[in-house]
Amino acid sequence: MVFLVQQTLLFAVPLMIVALAGVCAERSGVINLALEGIMIFGAFVGVLFIRIMQANNIFGQEQGQILMILAMLVAAVCGAIFSLLLAFSAINLKADQTIGGTALNMLSPAIVLFFINLIAQQNTLGMAKGGAASWFMIRPSTFGLPKDYSWGAIIDILINKVYLSTYICIIVFIGVSIFLYKTRFGLRMRSCGENPHAADSLGINVYKMRYAGVIISGALAGMGGFTYALTTTNCSSTGEVAGYGFLALAVMIFGNWTPLNIAAGGLLFGLFKCIAATYSTLDINGDGVYLLSQIGISPYVYRMLPYLITLIVLAFTSKKSRVPKAEGIPYDKGQR
Amino acid sequence: MLRLDPDTGKQKWYRSDASKSVLSAIISIIIGMAVGTLIIVIVGLTKDGISLKGMWEGIRLVFLGVFSTGRSEGNLTFGFNPVNMGNMLFRATPLIMTGLSVAVAFKTGLFNIGAAGQYLMGTMGTLTVGHVLGNTDCPIVIAWLAAFLAGVVLGGLWGAIPGIFKAFLNINEVITCIMTNWIAANLVTWWFDAHDIFKNAAEGGKVGYIIPLKNVGVVTPKMGMDVLFPGSQANGGFWIACIIAVVMYIMMTKTTFGYELRACGSNRHAAKYAGINDKRNIILSMVISGSLAAAGASLYYLAGNTEFFWSTYLSLPAEGFNGIPVALLASNNPIAVVFSGVLMSMLNIAGTQLKSLTAYNEYIADIIIAIIVYLSAFSMFIKQFINNREKKKGGNK
């Protein structure tokens, strides 16, 4: 049970944060198809940062948590800078946003693999020393307690053998949601995705708001990309994130462009993804019976489940779908 | 403003919108290549171990990669290289087909990001039927046709799923395409995992691969490609792709059905009020789109010596996603898709030449392609720039 909850969170958190990144951009009126590319770029920059810091002995293993937080920040900043390319083409040049996003999705793995090959002479860039678990995972020894120390069932789920990045992402997720829905700036940004001309007539600078949306989106996606690399691929960058960016896009549409639904969608998806990854060793109620692997269903059925269930749920909830009205349409002051 | 020629009363060809599109595409390509050159120079200057000569070699390979004939006495030699040229056309074939797939869907206002899944379903259909019929005494021609059609039909059915979801439930096709992609990846792996007869167990070091179709003799005829480009992998598949592109062009621009599809793409509701069955057209468009992507896979694997890594449930084929830039660069014109597909594979060949002959790696070609696609988004901007210049010239007269 402990294992299931923690694993689900590991899968769900990058999806949630990147889906929220999509919301920020699309609510301001720009389709951000480049989420996948930005994630790849963020993962690369974060890993590279950790590698350089380790190689120069600036941080030791004891300061692992600080190093990780810094790497997340660096990934977020670089993700935001990278997303400026999309913002420039979509907002200033009024170009087709699908093309801009696709271009970034191609550019990012190309650049990343180009530099990884120059730096490491192979297609994978890992940490300079140690592994993600030994450097960044929170365990009793992080607090100076003995190795097999237990805080009791509930607290164990929360802080034993987890990554701090998961919680940072959850806090950021809540923060950005509040920002989008409870602040004046958030309201103005969302109005640019619904009716930019009305927003402009009330004195809101649509271009600035859309830039803000894309930049926040880039920062979140970059951070999500690094979180993915840290928790899922042992803090290494390989020029891909296993289609997580596109999955996040799907979770965003699934969640109807609202944070609460996205969180629910991300968790649902994460749960089934987790079952698919661990079904053979999954002991649901702790009685030593591996139920799922004993039914005798092909593993591919479990691996298909997250996608199949998304399709089925969509089929039943489709009527309520609401897309930001002005998304994908370049804002032209002269119109109307 | 339309400028008409005083003699003929028609618009001059070089002033037409189409030629301006071509011109803006060429400008994008030139800028993309220039940026690639710049990267080569910058990397060459900052990294030790790359001399001035190495830099110059890298630049020449980016532009003339397909004409490279290797190295003699330490210098790069260039000339007609039939192997590179043939492989370029061979690799362009699936790109053209997935490009067509994305382009047709775009014309109907749909974004087919599911070409990867349709491509995989096509692979499964073609390889399965090819092997089953290839092992019987069925004539090769019929076996080839059956294998090709099996792939196309499976891909079409797979493409129908997002179409049906879009038409009847109004669910964004992007999400259904992404889901069907991964379902296809698992389904294909499951199918081949369960059937050992397709697995290549005879050759050592080929673990996880399907037996190539040449072993059972179901292979696309060369159709003159072996004479033009001896020693390369090129085959008649390229000609078939070209013919399909022309058929698609005629279908989209010259038939009522094509007009209906485009009408749905421009404004679904207006088309509906004009009496066009929008739901039927959306589904049909996705079916055609899916079959085109699958046909790309069929042609690729019917080449015979291509091998399919079947345990693919963790990754999707790159051809599926590369169809998107091919279509975008061609501004969704089926004929132009052929050229943009060939251009993409030309740059890929240049990349492999860079890797094998210099200290640079092949990803520089991908960077160039990405920049070209990025710039092609500005085609409106470039066209406007050309128009403005024309106006200024006219004013001076």
Output the DSSP codes for B203-227: STT-TTBBPPGGGTT-----TTHHH
- A contact test, residue of B31, B42, B180, B324 with most A CBs within 10 A: B324
| Residue B10 scores a pLDDT above 70 | no
Chain A residues with CB-CB distance to B315 below 8 A: 240, 242
Q: Do B171 and A118 touch (CB under 8 A)?
A: no
- Is residue B376, in this structure, part of any structural domain at all? no
Q: Which among B88, B126, B140 has a CA at the least distance from the CA of B211? A: B126
- Is residue B368, in this structure, part of any structural domain at all? no
- Is residue B25, in this structure, part of any structural domain at all? no
Domain range for A168 is 12-248
| Residue B36 scores a pLDDT above 70 | yes
Which residues between 123 and 142 in chain B have a beta carbon less than 8 angstroms from any beta carbon of chain A? none
If you average pLDDT over each of A99-103, B146-150, B352-356, B376-380, which comes out highest? B146-150
If pLDDT is split at 50, 70 and 90, which confidence band does A131 have?
confident
Residue A291, pLDDT score: 66
| Residue B396 scores a pLDDT above 60 | no
Of the listed ranges A176-180, A304-308, B23-27, the one predicted with least confidence? B23-27
- Is residue A199, in this structure, part of any structural domain at all? yes
Domain range for B323 is 93-344
If pLDDT is split at 50, 70 and 90, which confidence band does B183 have?
very high
For the record, the structure tokens of B178 come out as 């992404």
Q: What is the mean pLDDT of residues B330-351?
A: 91
How distant is the Cα of B209 from the closest Cα of chain A, in angstroms?
Answer: 18
- Is residue B9, in this structure, part of any structural domain at all? no
Give me chain B's average pLDDT, please: 86
Residue A76, pLDDT score: 95
Of the listed ranges A42-56, B130-144, B202-216, B275-289, the one predicted with least confidence? B202-216
Which residues between 189 and 228 in chain B have a beta carbon less than 8 angstroms from any beta carbon of chain A? 189-190, 193-194
Q: Name the amino acid, one letter, at A242.
A: A
Chain B residues with CB-CB distance to A101 below 8 A: none
How distant is the Cα of B194 from the closest Cα of chain A, in angstroms?
Answer: 10
Q: What is the mean pLDDT of residues A8-36?
A: 91
If pLDDT is split at 50, 70 and 90, which confidence band does A40 have?
very high
Number of domains in chain B: 1
- Is residue B205, in this structure, part of any structural domain at all? yes
Torsion angles phi and psi, residue A120, rounded to 5: -110, -5
Q: What is the pLDDT of residues A179-200, one digit of tens each?
A: 999 999 999 999 998 888 898 8
- B contact test, residue of A233, A307, A309, A316 with most B CBs within 10 A: A307
Number of domains in chain A: 1
Q: What is the pLDDT of residues B121-169, one digit of tens each?
A: 999 999 999 999 988 888 889 999 999 999 999 999 999 999 999 999 8
- Is residue A121, in this structure, part of any structural domain at all? yes
Q: Does A275 touch chain B (CB under 8 A)?
A: no
- Is residue A277, in this structure, part of any structural domain at all? no
Q: Which of B113, B175, B367 sits opposite A314 (nearest CB)?
A: B175
Q: Do A250 and B174 touch (CB under 8 A)?
A: yes
- Is residue B164, in this structure, part of any structural domain at all? yes
For the record, the structure tokens of A162 come out as 């987890």
Chain A residues with CB-CB distance to B194 below 8 A: 298
Q: Do A93 and B364 touch (CB under 8 A)?
A: no
| Residue A1 scores a pLDDT above 80 | no
A318 vs A326: which has the higher pLDDT: A326
Q: Give the nearest chain B residue to A243 (CA atoms).
A: B315
Residue A287, pLDDT score: 62
- Is residue A258, in this structure, part of any structural domain at all? no
Q: How many residues can be counted in chain A?
A: 336
Residue B63, pLDDT score: 83
Query: CA B135 to CA B313: how far, in whole Å?
Result: 28
- Is residue B40, in this structure, part of any structural domain at all? no
In chain A, what percentage of residues exceed pLDDT 70?
A: 93
Residue B201, pLDDT score: 78
How distant is the Cα of B269 from the closest Cα of chain A, in angstroms?
Answer: 16
For the record, the structure tokens of B335 come out as 């004929």
Other CB atoms within 10 Å distance of the CB of residue B104: 29
Query: CA B222 to CA B130: how far, in whole Å?
Result: 18
B391 vs B364: which has the higher pLDDT: B364
**8 A C-beta contact, residue A130 and residue A138:** no
- H helical segments located in chain A: 2-27, 35-55, 64-87, 97-120, 132-136, 153-159, 164-182, 184-194, 196-201, 206-232, 244-254, 259-278, 291-294, 299-317
In chain B, what percentage of residues exceed pLDDT 90?
A: 39
A336 vs B163: which has the higher pLDDT: B163
Which residues between 69 and 88 in chain A have a beta carbon less than 8 angstroms from any beta carbon of chain B? 85
Chain B residues with CB-CB distance to A277 below 8 A: none
| Residue B195 scores a pLDDT above 80 | yes
**Could you say which DSSP state residue A150 is in?**
-
Q: Does A96 touch chain B (CB under 8 A)?
A: yes
Q: Do B374 and A89 touch (CB under 8 A)?
A: yes
Please report which helix (H) or strand (E) contains residue B385, including its range: helix B379-396
If pLDDT is split at 50, 70 and 90, which confidence band does B204 have?
low
Residue B397, pLDDT score: 46
**8 A C-beta contact, residue B114 and residue B177:** yes
Residue B21, pLDDT score: 78
Residue A283, pLDDT score: 64
- Is residue A82, in this structure, part of any structural domain at all? yes
- Is residue B379, in this structure, part of any structural domain at all? no
Residue A335, pLDDT score: 72
Q: Which among A158, A183, A217, A194 has a CA at the least distance from the CA of A34? A: A217
Q: What is the pLDDT of residues B241-262, one digit of tens each?
A: 999 999 999 999 999 999 999 9
Q: Residue B186 belongs to a domain with what CATH number?
A: 1.10.3470
- Is residue A244, in this structure, part of any structural domain at all? yes
Which residues between 352 and 381 in chain B have a beta carbon less than 8 angstroms from any beta carbon of chain A? 361, 363-364, 366-367, 369-371, 373-374, 376-378, 380-381
Query: CA B3 to CA A164: how far, in whole Å?
Result: 65
**8 A C-beta contact, residue A6 and residue A138:** no
Chain A residues with CB-CB distance to B189 below 8 A: 300
- Is residue A317, in this structure, part of any structural domain at all? no
Residue B5, pLDDT score: 65
